[in-house]
Amino acid sequence: MISKPALTLDDAKRIAAAAHAEAKKNGWPVTIAIVDDGANLLYLERLDGCKLGAVVTAQEKARSAALFARPTKALEDIVAGGRNAMLKLPGATPIQGGLPLEHEGALVGGIGVSGVASAQDEHVAAAGLRALA
């Protein structure tokens, strides 16, 4: 057996709080989703005024980032480059705004943000990621 770090609910809340603060600072109504290393929802927060469709999208971005251990922007770039077969991969959401969460070199989950422009979503997610360090 191996041991590895794992996200706790307190970790997820700390990550989400940092992302929330960044979104609020910029006036961006977003939904923030945190998943564990199995891509299971651990924490979800929808800021006031955020579109309802962002709730599911944020979760899917977080899941994709965890399942593929890469930013969802990388998946988006692959599709934009013409590799449309990527769209058939189960769990792949090729829309910028999802980032993998790593600690001590181990994947521990993902964060997904949705509600504003995709680059802004990723900006908010990155603020959450920095809180994990």
Virtual torsion, Cα 45, 48, 52, 58, nearest 10 deg: -30
The amino acid that residue 19 corresponds to is: A
Encode pLDDT of 93-126 as tens digits: 999 999 999 999 999 999 999 999 999 999 999 9
Encode pLDDT of 19-68 as tens digits: 999 999 999 999 999 999 999 999 999 999 999 999 999 999 999 999 99
Using CA atoms, how far apart are residues 113 and 16, in angstroms rounded to an integer? 10
5 in a domain, yes or no?
Answer: no
Structural domain of 75: 14-132
36 in a domain, yes or no?
Answer: yes
The mean per-residue pLDDT over the stretch 80-84 comes to 94
Q: What integer pLDDT is reported at residue 2 of this predicted model? A: 87
Q: Domain of 33: which CATH number?
A: 3.30.450.150
pLDDT beyond 90 at 87: no
90 in a domain, yes or no?
Answer: yes
Tell the burial category of 58 from Cβ atoms under 10 Å away from its Cβ (0-12, 13-18, 19+): buried
124 in a domain, yes or no?
Answer: yes
pLDDT class of 69 with cuts at 50, 70, 90: very high
38 in a domain, yes or no?
Answer: yes
Using CA atoms, how far apart are residues 129 and 133, in angstroms rounded to an integer? 7
The mean per-residue pLDDT over the stretch 4-21 comes to 97
50 in a domain, yes or no?
Answer: yes
1 in a domain, yes or no?
Answer: no
8 in a domain, yes or no?
Answer: no
Domain total of the chain: 1
